[in-house]
Amino acid sequence: MDSFAQSVYRTESVAEVIALYDEHCTTYEKRICEEGKFKGPFTLVEAVTKEVPECRRKEVRVLDVAAGTGMVGEALAQKGFTNLDALEPSKGMLEYLRSKNIYTNTFHEYVGQDHTNVPQGCYDLVFVVGGMGYNHIPFTGVLEFVRFAKPGGLIMICMRHDEEDYMSNLKKYMNSLEEQQLWKKEFSTPIKDYLIGTDGILFVYQVL
């Protein structure tokens, strides 16, 4: 049988991918972590805890984009973060996430649509793990992350690095946002064996 990650990779539309997440919401964590050995959540939590000292973790307002079942939020809550919101378009994943009672506000929506209920300009940290890529968040969605964050806020993007066209367009778009002085790059770091033998990358930007 395919791993869950391989099934996701083979989907051909956003609707198909969301239906897959809906269907597998209760087994996602076991399948993606055990079969896929997904390093995304671990990498993100390590980066966030390095950036935010313990004394600030109760005050920083955090938005988890494409939050899935809330695995990352759960790990951050264990590290002392208490002000977490989540955005997730799959109803199944969102219901699973809500049952954990970690997030204050949850938004049932996609990044990349015209309208959003997410408050603008008020997050200290906006992050996404595994939500960027084909049939997921369009590369232009990073502009929405900039709008969600407050000036000085951080944006962290943790993703696979093997989708060549997508990555090339994303990097050009990120550079164009930097030229427009909307954000500045802090650093990026490669992630070896991010997901089933695929390498990944973590991008960290600061909103200006």
Q: Given the rule CB under 6 A, which residues bind ligand SAM?
A: 18, 21, 40-41, 66-68, 71-72, 88-90, 93, 110-112, 129-131, 136-137
Find out whether 161 and 190 touch, Cβ atoms under 8 Å.
Answer: yes
Beta strand segments in 21-178, E? 62-65, 84-87, 106-107, 123-129, 149-160
Exposure string over 44-74, b if 16+ CB within 10 A, otherwise e? bbebbbeebeeeebeebbbbbbbbbbbbbbb
DSSP secondary-structure letter at 55? G
Smaller CB distance to ligand SAM: residue 63 or 71?
Answer: 71
Smaller CB distance to ligand SAM: residue 23 or 59?
Answer: 23
Smaller CB distance to ligand SAM: residue 199 or 208?
Answer: 199
Shortest gap between Cβ of 179 and ligand SAM (angstroms)?
Answer: 25
Shortest gap between Cβ of 94 and ligand SAM (angstroms)?
Answer: 9
Shortest gap between Cβ of 158 and ligand SAM (angstroms)?
Answer: 8
Smaller CB distance to ligand SAM: residue 63 or 137?
Answer: 137
Supply angle C-alpha 187, 188, 193, rounded to 5.
155
Shortest gap between Cβ of 19 and ligand SAM (angstroms)?
Answer: 10
